[in-house]
């Protein structure tokens, strides 16, 4: 059976990774800050569904095959990179299409309409957010590589692998959900400042740049 020390070590590692600003943070903050609370929680649930899937697949030894196969790993990496660059690029393109001289109401409506087409969170849909979070997580082969590298070190030899693997993934999910609560609460504070179309465009440009940059880094294997 997995020890409490192993659980504590894993919690420390994933806790630090969770609070480090990154793609997940950008997606949740951007979606919640624009007032799409249900979709923001959908993104959170989708990301954590992906985390659970990686934990189960690692316990079954499937992700070890992914990291062992250069072709499979590179293919998933490029697909994930293309998806992130596309998503970030659509966000950026939507902000540049807005006219600085249009009225706040028109600009806000235009941003939401284009954002919805880009899958950026403009429609307050729990299912849509879940899909976005799940796809983003599952198309990141580094998640699989991380679990393959860490989980076997913490699960005792000869012990069953599925139950301890799911337990550790559950610890990861719990910490991530707690952090998501903090991010969504912070986003509510920022929401009043985002009533202006210029502020929304600025947020979308920052988020789009972050998402696209992660895609480029993933493509370069960094």
Q: pLDDT > 70: what percent of the chain? A: 84
Q: What is the rounded average pLDDT for all residues in the chain?
A: 82
Contact of 78 with 215, CB cutoff 8 Å:
no
Query: 113 falls in which pLDDT band (50, 70, 90)?
Result: very low
End-to-end CA distance of the chain: 35
Q: Where are the alpha helices (DSSP H) in the chain?
A: 4-19, 23-33, 37-59, 62-68, 70-97, 104-117, 126-138, 141-154, 162-191, 197-219
Q: What is the mean pLDDT of residues 130-146?
A: 90
Q: What is the mean pLDDT of residues 202-220?
A: 86
Q: How many Cα atoms within 13 Å fall on the side-chain side of residue 18?
A: 24
Residue 100 pLDDT greater than 80, yes or no:
no
The model's pTM is 0.79
In terms of Cα–Cα distance, which of 87, 95, 81 is closest to 214?
A: 81
* Sign of torsion over alpha carbons 190, 196, 202, 204: positive
Q: For residue range 163-208, list pLDDT tens digits in order.
A: 888 999 999 999 999 999 999 998 888 777 776 777 778 888 888 8
The pLDDT assigned to 190 comes to 78
């Amino acid at each position: 059976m997995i020890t409490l020390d192993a659980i504590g070590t894993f919690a420390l590692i994933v806790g630090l990774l969770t609070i480090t600003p990154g793609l997940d943070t950008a997606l949740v903050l951007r979606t919640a800050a624009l007032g799409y609370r249900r979709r923001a929680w959908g993104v959170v649930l989708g990301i954590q569904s992906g985390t659970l899937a990686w934990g189960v697949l690692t316990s079954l030894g499937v992700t070890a095959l992914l990291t062992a196969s250069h072709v499979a790993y590179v293919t998933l990496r490029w697909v994930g990179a293309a998806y992130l660059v596309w998503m970030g690029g659509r966000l950026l393109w939507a902000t540049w299409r807005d006219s600085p001289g249009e009225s706040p109401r028109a600009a806000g409506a235009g941003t939401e309409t284009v954002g919805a087409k880009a899958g950026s969170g403009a429609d307050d849909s729990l299912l849509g957010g879940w899909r976005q979070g799940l796809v983003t997580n599952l198309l990141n082969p580094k998640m699989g590589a991380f679990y393959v590298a860490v989980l076997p070190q913490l699960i005792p030899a000869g012990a069953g692998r599925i139950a301890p693997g799911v337990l550790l993934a559950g610890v990861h999910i719990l910490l991530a959900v707690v952090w998501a609560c903090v991010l969504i609460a912070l986003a509510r504070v920022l929401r009043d400042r985002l009533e202006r179309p210029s502020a929304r465009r600025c947020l979308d440009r920052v988020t789009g740049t972050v998402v696209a940059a992660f895609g480029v880094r993933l493509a370069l294997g960094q």
